[in-house]
Amino acid sequence: MFMAVVKGLKPLMDDWVAVERYQDFKQICKKYHLYVTPNCIFRNVPQSIIEKAEGKEILTTTKSQAIPFDPVAKDSVVHLYISGSKEVIKEAPKFGWYTLIVDDAVVSNPLMDNLKYGLLLGYPKCCVRFFINDTQGINQVYEAYKNTHGEPSFYCNPFSNDFHYFLIHNYPCSFRCRETTKQAKELLKAIKEEEPEYAAKIEYHLKLPLLVFHIRDAIAFEGKISKGEIRYSDSYFLSFPNIGKTPYKKFLEGNRVRVTKDKILIFKNETLLHSLEKSREDDGFLLKFS
């Protein structure tokens, strides 16, 4: 995403930097003629504070406490906006909300600000609108999967964002979204010009078959999908420890996974090792990008 902003392919990005490295980060951005402005500090809080917070049920994957920016704060990260445009960097703090704990209550962002912020970040309007509504309890990526007509394109693969190999940081409205594909192609071309080996690794990893549970909760396999199962030699867990609930270690024991409507079966060759119950059909589905 940083390269996309440097190359002018993306108008704005946000990031989190340890407070003690903020000045160093500003110098890097200055080198590439980018503007940086701090938002607030995100501070991790114990579960006890989360449980006491009014409105805790609307917290999303980000579970942090917001405090005003302080350049000498310790053990915290500052939320930043980065852009090549003075106009955009001025607009970003108006709409770049995250649902956070402030004092002892959870503060949520207005729906219209979500829309404006998504567009400021350069996300396709069709994708922003697809995910703008209240999606509590809805498997958003499964909705995108159902909205995909044809073979999913690796340019629209969002599952490794925030890890090493990705081209988009939004969740597309479908895995063949034309505008998302266009943006990802432009970025991959730019990366090839700067780091061709890295570009090749990105494309390789984005084409690996996946077992998807939810946003930020998926497994990528070194292997192939055929007739409702994956035969694999290795696996990568695309999740954060505090988000994913999948029993990942069980997949490390096997080399074949079969997915049915109500079960996920893990085999070692022909021996069944584990049978995992699915709570619903979208609680683990196979996905292959090409």
CA distance 286 to 213: 9
pLDDT over threshold 60, residue 164: yes
Question: Hey, what are 42's tokens?
Answer: 């995100």
- Specify the amino acid at residue 9: L
User: Which pLDDT tens digit goes with each residue over 52-82?
Assistant: 888 888 787 678 888 899 888 888 899 999 9
The whole-angstrom separation of Cα 115 and Cα 186 is: 24
Give residue-wise pLDDT tens across range 9-65.
999 999 999 999 999 999 999 999 999 999 999 888 888 888 888 888 878 767 888
pLDDT of residue 137: 60
Distance from C-alpha of 270 to C-alpha of 254, rounded to nearest angstrom: 10
pLDDT at 136: 53
* Domain positions in the chain: 1-122, 125-207, 210-287
Cβ–Cβ < 8 Å for 238, 220: yes
Are 113 and 2 contacting, i.e. CB atoms less than 8 angstroms apart? no
- The kind and range of the H/E element at 199 are helix 196-206
- The mean per-residue pLDDT over the stretch 194-216 comes to 95
pLDDT at 243: 55
Per-residue pLDDT at 233 exceeds 80: yes
- How far is it, in rounded angstroms, from Cα 64 to Cα 61? 9
The reported pLDDT for the residue numbered 66 is: 84
